[in-house]
Structure 1
Amino acid sequence: MNNKELAKVIIDNVGGESNIKQLSHCFTRLRFTLSDDKKANIKVLESTPGISGVVTKGGQFQVVIGSEVGNVYREINNLVDITEDELDLGNNEKKEKLSLFDKFVDIIQGIFTPILAPLTAAGMLKAVLAVIVAFKWIDKASSSYQVINFMADATFYFLPILLANSAAKKFKCNPYLAMMLAGMLLHPNFTAMVTAAKEGGMAVTIFGLPIYNATYSSSVIPIILGVYLMSKVEPIADKISPKAIKFFTRPLITMFVVGVATLCVLGPIGYIISNFIATCVNTLNSYVGWLVPTVMGIVMPLLVMTGTHHSITPIGINNRMTMGYDTIVYPGQLASNVAQGAAALAVSIKTKNSELKQLCSATGITAVCGITEPVLFGVTMKIKTNLIASMIGGGVGGLFLGVLGIKNFSGGSPGLLTLPSYISTDAPMSNFYLACAGAAIAFVVSFAVSYFLYKEKKEINADSDVLLNSDNQAVSDILIQPIKGEIQDLCEVKDETFSKELMGKGAAIIPTEGKVYSPVDGEVFNIFRTKHAISLKSNKGADIIIHVGLDTVKLDGKYFNAIVKNGDHIKKGDLLLEFDIEKIKEEGYDLTTPVVVVNANDFKSIKHTNKNSEFIVLEA
């Protein structure tokens, strides 16, 4: 499936274009804000090739893609017309109620996710510079070193400006005024005044109000507090400004009030908080430096699973900005990421399933390089032994790195490719060598545990009877025909989602009776709100969707009647749905009904037949 086809499947199964309020992406995930999450078909998305998993957290509907996420994002934007007004969530629509913690995580994600690319680029430039200096390929006194160094430092020095832009978009205020506020904190004249005040023992004031003697380059918290205040002041400035001159007075009032408040109050508060965090980290390192990297190595898969790992990222950034290095966040993440990749690579070697082998090897390599979402949602969450191995390997590696107090100097996505970020011209090379050793320990331990614990699943459940088809061949399951009518191949269906088997393999029926019967023994997994489709889970493990008609979702449930409800246990032949054939035809809809097995990859082959009441045969 190419990226354009995948984009179409995603749009259709998040509820269509009209259900998308906002769309963004990070390194591995598409991040949707949907009008109604219930319209999304999670089961289909998770079973679609090219999608590693689906996460709903903090008001976002996240589709995990992997390294191709940027290309898929572009294809979706080519297919979906979302205007800037539609992207503005500051409307009066009812928003999902979130807990305080979920709100905090959502804010951190919204602010830091957009700037991960420049942070990674800066970190990698620093790492490369450290390598070429370590190998004496370049001299620190040379202009080449100085140029590359300031190129890398640019992101860190002007970090408040980057944060101002993303924070303004999150808090729904003017991003350009927010960047102007960051510029005030970084202006060379302000820096010079603070430096002179420190040397002379004097205070900088504005209208008698003292300004704290602190500079804010590379800072994190002060600008976020300032932009949050701006989001509250800007609407007030708009309200009190005379309509005729609002264009001039609104930004004037906003920037004067917020600028003074940030320089005199919020900036110092943020500065003090940042230093307090750094002091706590130093204290923690002095007494139990091994603890946090160990815990991070163990629980990181669970944090990424829930999206809460983004709330930890600012701590690592703050540590590097205030102390010059981080010893708790990035070392623990390094051990965890390498361990997850190693666990998947162990399965890729042991398994005889060609598709699982390919999935584990591809996502495992990506994970050891620093990006874990594909392996987490594609492998780790689905194979419990891999989760156990990842947590054990991550914990052991994190303990090793923590006990030795290994320092990370420039960040990046924690993995083998960013190991040079543990090199510094001001630190011994042993720090780098020990970081490599910690990553190796995490890899070896996780690989060994995963290889030992993983057992290949049998194709047929041990506690079930072996099924025979009409030719007396062993099969995994047999589906009976759910609707009376003419059977046709899926490729003949006039909808590419089905004809190209994007949702799964199976067959289609042209109904002659408006009744849908259960094709399997199993459970009703989901009846769509519009009742035009039903998802079933067979006792033999098949995930089945029966979709009555094409585009009949537009009828919004009219002419459909559900006989069963979600969670009902069903037997072959039980009546599930009723629909009015004639009325639906009068509305102009094609009643061709696809019946697809969503998890087709779990079976060796899927074929349809009309022999001896057999409709679809799933072969082990």
Structure 2
Amino acid sequence: MNYRELAATIIEDIGGEKNIRQLTHCATRLRFNLKDESIVAEEKLRNTTGVMGAVSKGGQYQVIIGSDVGNVYKEVMDQTSIETKEDFGPSRKKGVAAVIDTITGIFTPILPAITASGMLKAVLSLLVVFNWLSVESQTYQILNFMGDAAFYFLPILLAASSAQKFKTNMYLAMMLGGILLHPSFVAMVTQAKEAGTAISLIGLPVSAVSYSSSVIPIILSVWFMSYVEPIADKVSPKAIKFFSKPLLTIFVVGTVSLVAIGPLGYIISDAISNGITTLESLSPWLVPVLLGTFTPLFVATGTHYGLVPIGINNRMTMGYDSVIYPGMLASNVSQGAASLAVGVKSKNKELKQLAFSAGLTGIFGITEPALYGVNLKYKTPLYGAMIGGGLGGLFMGIMKVKNFTGGSPGLLTLPSYIGDNTLSFFYSACIGAGISVIASFIATFILYKDKLEEPTTIEDAPTLKRTIEKETLVFAPLTGEVHSLKEVNDGVFSEGILGEGIAIIPTENKVYSPVNGVITATFDSGHAVGITSDEGIEILVHVGIDTVQMNGEGFNYLVEKGQNVEVGDALLTFDMGLIKEHGYNVITPVVITNSALIGDILNTETGAIQVGDNLFKIYG
């Protein structure tokens, strides 16, 4: 692969250097913050050799490269001056997108350090369990504090990455982390706890709280500093600004952090861990099952990084994580196994090579090559991976498997389940991973079929499932303008994860039944409806994007689940103006969710459409 040429192509297709606000990368993706995503040559970018896919989600435009991402990133940086830019301007992201963008930007840069520490601790645990190393030896003690380093000094690592994200001085932020971790403060906290005395700063009470290994307090403190520093700059006389600006900033932020923000962050962290403990006691299997099943969708949309801090917080507060990492382990190895099953079954030489390579990478913890190169593209491997991930997550949830040191969930990080002086969690994690691999492989092997080539002569036509006698029509449920599903700013729809379909920008506020059938899905939020036709076609009409967050406001069902409907029956009403006021896009995906199991689907052309017009023709 010519990394230089690939980088140049990506820069051009992304809209040029002038369109790039910021660029980071993770294990497989280039993560762009762009000024204007509408000028991206997306179709050309997706078809570029070396690019596995592209998706806009979580406040970023993500270009999936695979394991070569580091080399491509270096070339992009070498060919631009992005690294010299410090002011990327105000973020245009709002709501959930802004939160996910912030979390991703903060945690992605520190993952290598956390992974290194976690794996070192896992290997050390393995050496002790098998009596290859004594805990009294100096070798153990040195390796132990080496492994603890990234976790103990996590506030300083997070301070640096938070400062980059919040556009404030990195070194003052790291100093702020040092304040929270200073040995003198730690000693004061220890003494106050033992003696039952109070700590005060200029008469203000300071909570006796330890911040080593904490996550939330330092992030909140640096965020606060991003507002204080400009004020300090403004009020400082020009002649003494060099020392007065940092002095005012660190005094104000340091004081507020010790007195208010730090304790608040500690309370939030403690509340999260208590909530996880309660959930674990009531239903320990639920979250691992959900994550094992749906993590591929989170990865496809880039929102899985929002879960990483929860797992880290669990380990920092409780000493282990029993919900996030076990579920992700089941999902990741299932993704790899599904891709391997395609490699075994497919007769396409190029696909076999890709599937085997991506499958091995997936079971070791890096799933994007398998997800974008194979599973999402061919759909049935994705279903197989979700089945295997759910079953593996169920087993690990029932067994209350604990992860002690993190790392990228996969076979290579199984030692991270060694802890509490027992191998029981390690054994259970191995069995759970095995269940995921076997179930996913078998399900995918059964479901996957190589795509048939289009017939070139009339004699070839019988090899297809298409028969005019079985033609079924699906009519338009909305009046508006038809667009390609790829234009929907949600990877779950635009990547075809839920199935084939189209999108309609509505001009009226009512949804009608597109088929004769039965209502099979309604939602508390009222934003979508599922219908199954008499022929077995499953259709989802999803009004707007992210409108589930409106919690039902502006939506009203006119039917109930289980009710029989006919073409043209009114199903629900919605307030288009209110959706726009809340900042959500009204574009409405209409998806055939079981498109992989029915015949060929012919979509209508884009353009204006009326309720009752033909939308799809399906041939059995």
Which bin holds the TM-score, normalised by the shorter protein? 0.7 to 0.9
Residue by residue, what CA displacement relative to the aligned partner does 1:6-28 show, whole Å, maximum 9, x if unpaired?
22221221122332232211111
Number of the residue aligned with 2:143: 148
Number of the residue aligned with 1:252: 247
The residue identity in structure 2 corresponding to 1:31 is R
Number of the residue aligned with 1:460: 454
CA distance in 2, matches of 1:430, 1:252: 52
Residue by residue, what CA displacement relative to the aligned partner does 1:131-154 show, whole Å, maximum 9, x if unpaired?
222222211111111111111100
CA distance in 1, matches of 2:108, 2:353: 29
Q: How far did residue 80 of structure 1 move?
A: 2.2
Any residues of structure 2 matched to 1:27-66 within 5 Å, and which? 27-66=27-66
Q: Which of the numbers 426, 431, 436 marks the counterpart of 2:430?
A: 436
TM-score, normalising length: structure 2: 0.73
The residue identity in structure 1 corresponding to 2:412 is L
Residue 409 of structure 1 contacts residue 423 of structure 1 at CA under 8 Å; is this kept in 2? Answer: yes
Residue 77 of structure 2 contacts residue 83 of structure 2 at CA under 8 Å; is this kept in 1? Answer: no
Q: How far did residue 386 of structure 1 move?
A: 1.0
Any residues of structure 2 matched to 1:4-403 within 5 Å, and which? 4-85=4-85, 87-90=86-89, 95-96=91-92, 98-403=93-398
Q: How far did residue 217 of structure 1 move?
A: 0.3
The residue identity in structure 2 corresponding to 1:327 is S
CA distance in 1, matches of 2:81, 2:186: 45
Alignment CA distance shift 1:100-1:35 (3 Å): closer
Residue 90 of structure 1 contacts residue 172 of structure 1 at CA under 8 Å; is this kept in 2? Answer: no
Q: How far did residue 173 of structure 1 move?
A: 0.7
Residue by residue, what CA displacement relative to the aligned partner does 1:159-211 show, whole Å, maximum 9, x if unpaired?
00000011111111111100000100000000001111111111010111110
Number of the residue aligned with 1:451: 445
Alignment CA distance shift 1:525-1:218 (3 Å): closer
Number of the residue aligned with 1:606: none
Q: How far did residue 65 of structure 1 move?
A: 0.9
CA distance in 2, matches of 1:151, 1:465: 70
SS across alignment from 2:205: strand
Q: How far did residue 242 of structure 1 move?
A: 1.0
Between stretches 4-13 and 427-436, larger displacement belongs to 4-13
CA distance in 2, matches of 1:269, 1:300: 30
The residue identity in structure 2 corresponding to 1:188 is P
Q: How far did residue 83 of structure 1 move?
A: 4.8
Alignment CA distance shift 1:461-1:236 (3 Å): farther
Number of the residue aligned with 2:416: 421
Q: How far did residue 379 of structure 1 move?
A: 1.3
SS across alignment from 2:132: coil
The residue identity in structure 1 corresponding to 2:353 is Q
Alignment CA distance shift 1:313-1:524 (3 Å): closer
Between stretches 379-388 and 325-334, larger displacement belongs to 379-388
Q: How far did residue 441 of structure 1 move?
A: 0.0
SS across alignment from 1:420: helix
Q: How far did residue 34 of structure 1 move?
A: 2.3
SS across alignment from 1:210: strand
Number of the residue aligned with 1:609: none
CA distance in 1, matches of 2:59, 2:329: 28
The residue identity in structure 1 corresponding to 2:271 is F
Where structure 1 has 5 or more consecutive residues not aligned to the other structure, the ranges are 469-522, 527-620
Any residues of structure 2 matched to 1:582-593 within 5 Å, and which? none
The residue identity in structure 1 corresponding to 2:59 is G
CA distance in 1, matches of 2:342, 2:307: 30
CA distance in 2, matches of 1:83, 1:369: 32
CA distance in 2, matches of 1:60, 1:103: 9
Q: How far did residue 524 of structure 1 move?
A: 12
Aligned length: 465
Residue 19 of structure 1 contacts residue 35 of structure 1 at CA under 8 Å; is this kept in 2? Answer: yes
> Which portions of structure 1, spanning 4 or more consecutive aligned residues, are displaced by more than 4 angstroms?
464-468, 523-526
CA distance in 1, matches of 2:290, 2:82: 42
CA distance in 1, matches of 2:18, 2:236: 36
Q: How far did residue 348 of structure 1 move?
A: 0.3
Q: How far did residue 465 of structure 1 move?
A: 5.0
Report the identity percentage.
57
The residue identity in structure 1 corresponding to 2:121 is K
SS across alignment from 1:114: coil
Residue 406 of structure 1 contacts residue 434 of structure 1 at CA under 8 Å; is this kept in 2? Answer: yes
Residue by residue, what CA displacement relative to the aligned partner does 1:560-600 show, whole Å, maximum 9, x if unpaired?
xxxxxxxxxxxxxxxxxxxxxxxxxxxxxxxxxxxxxxxxx
SS across alignment from 2:108: helix
The residue identity in structure 2 corresponding to 1:88 is D
Residue 52 of structure 1 contacts residue 375 of structure 1 at CA under 8 Å; is this kept in 2? Answer: no
CA distance in 1, matches of 2:404, 2:388: 23
CA distance in 2, matches of 1:2, 1:524: 36
CA distance in 2, matches of 1:79, 1:232: 33
CA distance in 1, matches of 2:484, 2:389: 36
SS across alignment from 1:199: helix
CA distance in 2, matches of 1:253, 1:465: 81
Residue by residue, what CA displacement relative to the aligned partner does 1:432-455 show, whole Å, maximum 9, x if unpaired?
111100000000000000000001
Residue 460 of structure 1 contacts residue 466 of structure 1 at CA under 8 Å; is this kept in 2? Answer: no
SS across alignment from 1:72: helix
SS across alignment from 1:62: strand
RMSD value, Cα: 1.9
Alignment CA distance shift 1:177-1:46 (3 Å): same
Alignment CA distance shift 1:116-1:268 (3 Å): same
Residue 338 of structure 1 contacts residue 368 of structure 1 at CA under 8 Å; is this kept in 2? Answer: yes
SS across alignment from 1:382: helix
Q: How far did residue 247 of structure 1 move?
A: 1.2
CA distance in 1, matches of 2:262, 2:13: 45
Where structure 2 has 5 or more consecutive residues not aligned to the other structure, the ranges are 462-481, 486-620
CA distance in 1, matches of 2:89, 2:14: 22
Residue 32 of structure 2 contacts residue 60 of structure 2 at CA under 8 Å; is this kept in 1? Answer: yes
